[in-house]
Amino acid sequence: MKILAAVDQSEYAGIVLQKAAELSSKYGAEVTALTVTNLAFTNLYIGETPTEIVSKVREGIKEKVKDIEAKARGIDGKIKFEVEESASPADAIVKYAEKNGIDLIVIGNKGAGAIERFLIGSVSSQVVTHAPCSVLVVKK
């Protein structure tokens, strides 16, 4: 069994990882924690973003993922961490699940993107609608 934990920079990241790790222990599943950033697409509206700013933001994202990894070390089981760039986090999560034969996606019901949620619906709602597999939505 393969589990994909959709992890953002919100407080739900730890909760989602904890639930994925519990399921991994119970069912002997592989867990991949996926963080999606839309950094590469932010310059569509503001013009070209200077390379040094993009590099610093990418480094900040990597540091955040390292923080999440450090928290996850206390959780039983191995967790593989991936970072992808996409204009749509929901689309990236669904495509990753399709491409990697994921059996279950674990995602929080709230995340970091309040504006996106208002404009186009929550990431979790979109993932539930379009996922090729079962989705467990974790609430705090």
pTM of this structure: 0.79
Q: pLDDT tens digits for 13-47? A: 888 888 898 898 899 899 999 988 876 555 545 55
pLDDT tens per residue across span 66-109 = 777 666 666 666 788 888 888 889 999 999 999 999 999 999 88
CA distances (Å), origin 97, targets 31, 79, 90, 109: 12, 16, 11, 18
Residue type, 80: K
Find the helix or strand (DSSP H, E) in which 15 lies: helix 12-27
- Topology at the third CATH level for domain 2-138: Rossmann fold (3.40.50)
CB 16 within 8 A of CB 109: no
Tell me the domain boundaries of the chain: 2-138
